[in-house]
Copies of this chain bind each other. A is one copy, B any other.
Amino acid sequence: MSKATAILLIACQDQKGLVARVAGFIHEYGGNILDSDHHTDQETGDFLMRTVFDLTGFQLARADIDDAFRPLAKIHDMHVQWYFADQKPKVGMLVSQHDHCLADVLQRYRRGELAIEIPVIISNHQTAAWWADLFHIPFHYFPVTPETKPQQEEQILSILREQQVDLVLLARYMQIVSEGFLDHVGCPVINIHHSFLPAFIGAKPYHQAYDRGVKIIGATAHYATPELDEGPIIAQDVVRVGHRDTVKDLIRKGRDLEELVFSRAIRLHIERRVLVYGRKTVVFD
């Protein structure tokens, strides 16, 4: 995607003429639509739209676009978000000693696959320090016990705010973040859960899967919400397992899956392809 592009996300109730009016607005000021997708939920009447347009020759300055669009947004009672493809989101990463998802994100970041900045890595283990060093990213170590959790969350929040992160990634953080944390973090939080949700919610999903004797295991990336493992799902994938696979094999196979699903969800999010409505997502890919 070329750098000088704008991404417009709209959510509102379905009404006649929405596509025409939005496309008309962009055309009026000389923008060229590169990609446009929308979805109407026939049951709820929710209308969700994502439009990408070329800013070359667009007659409005970036700072003025939202103002110019406001009258239209008001008429249709739209919830509107504007993004620009050349602005890299700042991502704060939280990780445990299970560092493979962190490592995978860093590899993709290194080879330019993910257009993000990573100002901070935070962990309750020292393991991730090696990776942070390697990529010259500030690292913070906050060991967590049931007693210290509230204070530690406060500290973590304060660092994330200080770095003005746009997105928090729970890269196998293995700690349940509190409702208060989610209330105050001020940006979306993406979690990777190591099962095919809603199967095997909670702790040790690979052990649960092994005990149940399933023939397929999965991984799920979702936005974190106060209800554990109940947030809107962004991406899921699966892999076959058999009776020869021990729990250790499930964990090994699952690692590959977690990396793939997590990075896919991150990519979808940072390309602004995901719109949440209710407890579900629309993914324009």
Residues of A that sit less than 8 Å from B by CB: 16-21, 23-24, 26-28, 30, 32-40, 42, 100, 103, 107, 111, 113, 134, 196-200, 212-216, 218, 232-238, 242-244, 246, 252, 256, 260, 278-283, 285
Contact = CB atoms under 8 A, between A and B. Distances in A.
Contacts of A34: 40
A144 to B, nearest CB: 23
B20 A24 contact: yes
A215 B233 contact: yes
Given A17-B27, A37-B37, A197 B216 contact: no
Give the number of times this chain occurs in the complex, counting copies.
4
Q: Is the interface of A mostly helix, strand, loop or mixed?
A: mixed
Max chain B C-beta neighbours (<10 A), residue from A28, A200, A233: A233
A252 B113 contact: yes
A260 B214 CA distance: 17
Given A23-B24, A197-B199, 17 more contacts: A16-B27, A16-B30, A20-B23, A20-B26, A20-B28, A23-B23, A34-B40, A42-B246, A134-B134, A197-B214, A198-B199, A213-B279, A213-B281, A215-B233, A242-B283, A243-B281, A243-B283
A197 B38 CA distance: 32
A66 to B, nearest CB: 20
